[in-house]
Structure 1
């Protein structure tokens, strides 16, 4: 005898929790962006070679792009979260397909945003290592 497997859609509470987690992650990203902006604009990252200066400018440009993207995504998630809160207040237990689709698109956007920012941070750390190694060699 085979058991019937039911695939159930996530509840409003689950979607609400996930949206709130996204907002928290985006707040943290905003703090990290502020930190990296300050770091890249500090005297530590004033490289002496033109090649590294071009890298610095590229990292600053990428960070600005990431900041704009995160702000836009945060606005979308906040609007989505507000709608979810309204549905929870109404104790509406059914979600229409369009709303679920919107949640899924936001989930995918969040995953892309987080992955891209990880790559950006990785590049900035490599850049920082290069600068610090050069300075360390000069100090010897």
Structure 2
């Protein structure tokens, strides 16, 4: 918890260029995740019959729902970062608008937290999905080995 607080204090010292760079990195990562969501949809579609055959349909449905929620949250974050990027002008216009600049820094801090939480949840989702696919592939392989005998 202290690490987060220290990091949040650090945000106050970031200049406009550093915040711009962070926003660009967030957009890049979130857009990559958007592409991965499409891959996950294809993966789930490809293995739908095996997911149902596993007899664990409810957990498979939960994963699908989690992917959909993750997509929506990702799209929301992409839009929030884009809006945040467009407001960067407040920091670089040379006019001292202390309240607006404070609000921008607070928004940046809030985005740091939101994106960090999203990335942690996304990593967990990805791990769960790949574990399910790994189980399916192992069962498929053992079934083929049994069919050969």
TM-score range, shorter chain: 0.7 to 0.9
Listed as ranges, the matches of 1:1-140 within 5 Å are: 9-42=13-46, 44-47=47-50, 48-51=53-56, 53-84=57-88, 86-87=89-90, 90-91=93-94, 96-140=101-145
Q: TM-score, normalised by structure 2?
A: 0.80
Q: Higher helix proportion, which one?
A: 2
Contiguous gaps of at least 5 residues in structure 1: 1-6
Q: Is the 8 A contact 2:16 2:92 kept in 1?
A: no
1:21 and 1:27 map into 2 onto residues whose CA distance is 10
Aligned residues: CA RMSD: 1.9
The TM-score with structure 1 as length reference comes to 0.85
- CA distance in 2: counterparts of 1:139 and 1:55, whole angstroms: 25
Cα distance in 2 for residues equivalent to 1:115 and 1:92? 38
Matches of 2:135 and 2:31, distance apart in 1 = 29
Extract structure 1 runs of 4+ deviating beyond 2 A.
53-56, 86-96
How many angstroms apart in 2 are the aligned matches of 1:40 and 1:71?
20
Unaligned runs of 5+ in 2: 1-9
